[in-house]
Amino acid sequence: DDGGPDPEKHCGHGRGGMGEEVKRKEDKRFITGRGNYVDDIKKPGMLHCEIVRSPHAHARVEDIDKSRALDLDGVVAVLTAEDLAAHELATMPTLMDDTQDVLVNDKVKFQSQEVAAVIATDRYVAKDGAEKVEVDYEVLDPVVTAEEALEADAPLIRDELEDQEDNHIFDWDVGDKEATDEVFEEADVTVEEQMEYQRLHPAPIETCGCVADWDPGKDKITVHLTSQAPHAHRTLFSQVSGIPEHKVRIVSPDVGGGFGNKVPIYPGYVVAAAASVVLEQPVKWMEERSENIQTTGFARDYDMTGELAATEDGIIKGVRTDVLANHGAYNAVAQPSKFPAGFFNIFTGSYDIEAAYGSLTAAFTNTAPGGVAYRCSFRVTEAVYLIERMVKVLAQELDMDPAEIRRKNFIPADAFPYESATGWNYDSGDYEKALDKALEMADYDHYREEQRRRIEEDADKLIGIGISSFTEVVGAGPGKSCDIAGIEMFDSADIRVNPTGNAVLRVGVQTQGQGHETTFAQIVAEELGMDVENISVEHGDTDTDPYGLGTYGSRSTPVAGAATAVAARKVREKAKSIAANELEAAEEDIEWDRESGEFHVAGAPDRSITITEIAAGAYMNHPTSEEPGLEAVNYYDPPEMTYPFGSYIVIVEVDRETGEVDFEKFVAVDDCGNRINPMVIEGQIHGGLAQGIGTAMMEHVTYDENGNCTGGDFMNYLLPTANEIPNFETGYTVTPSPHHPIGAKGVGESPTVGSPPAIVNAVVDAMAHAGTTHVEMPMTPDRVWEALDEAGLAH
Ligand code: CDP
């Protein structure tokens, strides 16, 4: 092998390989309105499903009267838990081994929970029918926060579970408690801060839904599903329904954003599939916006205490954290690791910290279940927020520059591979380089000066500068430590080169807008010397694609991207023997030249052959020592995860009169190892930063004390629009992953993970001179104004 692409020579060789800004192949159909989403699918005789939802957060269902709904013209069936029980579908497993009612069996446990389903010939009739289903409830006292849920006299939410005497789910801890306590006792300085990572929702523009189509002639069900993980969903569908897996086909067509929301299985999917089997007609279920926000996988909801112990000159010796997690009514967290809190273990961040200890308690509440990895790798967002906020708190306590304190504590570039105090193996990094670049791009010294000037002049608008030098962990597996329902987290690629020299790549991951049809083709172009235009990428159909675990947690490039490179190299190996046959040379004398993409005889560069000619040879003149054809499959179990990182610097202006925050400058320097498509990466960074701004400034799924979701639609759950988004200045460094075949790390979630602490640090920084150490997210103008007022800075 030639050692893979060279990061210094990223040019794609003009064929659209690694490093070229190839325009996204998928955009032609998207911008011409030819995308094909689940709700675009219409089948002859298709019925529609609407869900009857509980208005109460905690209530016993006394009676359900279907008669008025069934009287409505066009209503075909009304289903309740009793009907599903006859088909052993009353409950379904969550991704965390809990059992969730598909339709409420006895007791409602969160507002908008699924109580009954109406199947009708038309969506509007189904909706009218749902309004006519009469449900009698005995309303019970709800418990909304994790803190209340753990009080001794709190109402028991999960009374159907044997041995469940309170609302406690689990306790978990990591690190060396004794060693950490000791470091804290001996430390010159300790700091502590309480912070909440509020409940968020991924809120993809396309909500969740499916079209289930049972074929009684083949005893086979085809489900078009808004799925980030079609194969894992096929296995789970088969397990829940009892339909053999080879008789289940999941098709995930174009997906309008997933962000972790389309990883779990939801009751609507099960109801639509059951209805299709029983009625022998296709059944569509598609959520409305409020159903999506109020009932499907939320994210975060961690109440965290952070502590740091340090020397006088700012060397961090220890980190301690304690977390209270609200998991909602069922334990339905979507994370595949053996750790109950996922990858929260990485809370030591980018710093070389001697001792670390973290503990976490999770509780049931009368709120929707969830805990999905919203554009993040399984709780890494919470961990990054904690450590990056705490470093700022410490810098303030020591009156040190927050850039300087980071520099003093970074894991040094020559210390990789590095094992953290919580036992995580970082593959590579150069944190100081990324920070230096960001400081330069941000004109840091100038803004520090400007900040001082405004304070001295008692100006109306204060300047705040926030830094986040985050490290991420993406690319789950390896299979030995990560699985979904026992299936190890590998991923796959299948390349078939056609006789005319073009190729089809099928992968086990499923894009939701990340541009895989382009970037995965670029990997093949790079590794086979083909033109990127001659490679098409297919995914999302379990009948044709190789088994894979899906796309979330930025795992596509680290895992399926690696599988693609390995499969392409297998094709290249076989291509050598065909080249030898065509060039009448010995196979060991055939060399492949990455630059030209051609195969030639060693020492005779003009005796060369292209991959197109080889493809023809594979089918029309194959060597007798080989099978005909040119294809390869790879199932890739990564040896480790990859650790992308970056430094973000945010400069804000805080209005002392209104509490409004304006972004003056937003610099993001990312390192995702070798870069496949810089333009796609930039798009990923822009989108992720927008979501980070939403997180820091406006998004929050709120509940009132009765468990009514008061932040469950786009009037109340505020998403950032172009108006709130500043111009981003992006930069990069390249520190390849040593174990990835093309040296790449994931990137999609870095900006969402890395930016909220930079933004909060900036707002806090504007008031730091008056003693403010924290402002809770979302930093709405009223919250910021209150913080200004408390610090005596409000005008
Ligand atoms: O799993 P997901 O696709 O969400 O995340 P990812 O692996 O970080 O990839 C997001 C997009 O960025 C994909 O189209 C990748 O191929 C591309 N990317 C890239 O061009 N270079 C990298 N080093 C990492 C990702």
pLDDT tens-digit map of 356-398: 999 999 999 999 999 999 999 999 999 999 999 999 999 999 9
Task: Choose the residue to mutate in 376, 518, 557, 679 for probing ligand 1, maximizing ligand atoms within 8 Å of C-beta.
Answer: 557
The whole-number pLDDT of residue 1 equals 55
**How much distance in Å is there from the Cα of 549 to the middle of ligand 1?**
16
**Residue 112 pLDDT level (bands cut at 50, 70, 90):** very high
The whole-number pLDDT of residue 7 equals 61
pLDDT at 4 > cutoff 90? no
| For the CA of 744, the nearest atom of ligand 1 | 23
For the chain, domain boundaries: 7-35+491-636, 38-140+207-255+262-295, 299-476+641-790
pLDDT at 252 > cutoff 60? yes
The whole-number pLDDT of residue 337 equals 86
The whole-number pLDDT of residue 175 equals 98
**How much distance in Å is there from the Cα of 681 to the middle of ligand 1?**
7
| For the CA of 560, the nearest atom of ligand 1 | 7
The angle, 0 to 180 degrees and rounded to 10, between the axes of the packed helices 678-697 and 750-767 is: 50
**How much distance in Å is there from the Cα of 532 to the middle of ligand 1?**
17
Task: Choose the residue to mutate in 252, 376, 523, 680 for probing ligand 1, maximizing ligand atoms within 8 Å of C-beta.
Answer: 680
What is the rounded average pLDDT for all residues in the chain? 96
Question: What average pLDDT score do residues 136-163 get?
Answer: 97
The whole-number pLDDT of residue 225 equals 98
Task: Choose the residue to mutate in 380, 556, 742, 745 for probing ligand 1, maximizing ligand atoms within 8 Å of C-beta.
Answer: 556
| For the CA of 557, the nearest atom of ligand 1 | 7
The closest of 343, 330, 328, 345 to 373, measured between CA atoms, is 343
Q: How far lies 208's CA from each of 231, 233, 235, 259, 484, in Å?
A: 17, 14, 19, 12, 20
Question: What average pLDDT score do residues 613-638 get?
Answer: 96
Sign of CA dihedral 216, 218, 224, 229: positive
| Rounded to 5°, angle at Cα 92 from 88 and 96 | 150
Query: For domain 38-140+207-255+262-295, is the CATH number 3.30.70.270?
Result: no
pLDDT at 176 > cutoff 80? yes
Query: For domain 7-35+491-636, is the CATH number 3.30.365.10?
Result: yes
User: Quick one: what percent of the chain has pLDDT higher than 90?
Assistant: 96
The whole-number pLDDT of residue 10 equals 54
d(CA 439, CA 141): 52
The closest of 292, 285, 293, 288 to 41, measured between CA atoms, is 285
Which DSSP state fits 728?
A: -
| For the CA of 672, the nearest atom of ligand 1 | 23
Q: ipTM more than 0.95?
A: yes
Instruction: Indicate if 299-476+641-790 has the same CATH topology as 38-140+207-255+262-295.
Output: no
Ligand 1 environment, Cβ below 6 A: 514-516, 519, 551, 554-557, 672-677, 680-681, 684, 744-748
pLDDT at 6 > cutoff 80? no
The closest of 348, 353, 469, 455 to 401, measured between CA atoms, is 469
The H or E element spanning position 274 is helix 267-279
pLDDT at 635 > cutoff 80? yes
Task: Choose the residue to mutate in 509, 681, 733 for probing ligand 1, maximizing ligand atoms within 8 Å of C-beta.
Answer: 681
The whole-number pLDDT of residue 87 equals 92
Whose CA is closest to atom 12 on ligand 1?
Answer: 681
pLDDT at 775 > cutoff 90? yes
d(CA 627, CA 625): 7
The per-residue DSSP string of 45-111 comes to T-EEEEEEE-SSSSEEEEEEE-HHHHTSTTEEEEE-HHHHHTTT-SEEE-TTS-EEESS-SSEE-ST
Question: What average pLDDT score do residues 245-250 get?
Answer: 98
The residues annotated as belonging to the active site are 228, 375-376, 749
The whole-number pLDDT of residue 572 equals 98
Whose CA is closest to atom 4 on ligand 1?
Answer: 554
The whole-number pLDDT of residue 485 equals 83
The whole-number pLDDT of residue 105 equals 95
- Cα-Cα-Cα-Cα torsion 33, 36, 37, 43, nearest 10 degrees, comes to 120
- Four-way CATH pick for 299-476+641-790: 3.40.50.970, 3.20.20.70, 3.40.50.11540, 3.30.365.10: 3.30.365.10
**How much distance in Å is there from the Cα of 520 to the middle of ligand 1?**
9
The whole-number pLDDT of residue 9 equals 59
**Residue 753 pLDDT level (bands cut at 50, 70, 90):** very high
**Residue 50 pLDDT level (bands cut at 50, 70, 90):** very high
Q: Give per-residue pLDDT as tens, 527-557.
A: 999 999 999 999 999 999 999 999 999 999 9
pLDDT at 448 > cutoff 70? yes
Q: How far is CA 120 from the centre of its chain?
A: 35
Question: What average pLDDT score do residues 270-281 get?
Answer: 97
| For the CA of 522, the nearest atom of ligand 1 | 16
**How much distance in Å is there from the Cα of 204 to the middle of ligand 1?**
18
The H or E element spanning position 689 is helix 678-697
d(CA 355, CA 320): 9
Whose CA is closest to atom 16 on ligand 1?
Answer: 519
Question: What average pLDDT score do residues 19-46 get?
Answer: 97
Tell me phi and psi for residue 93, to 5 degrees: -75, 145
**How much distance in Å is there from the Cα of 490 to the middle of ligand 1?**
17
d(CA 196, CA 215): 49
**Residue 336 pLDDT level (bands cut at 50, 70, 90):** confident
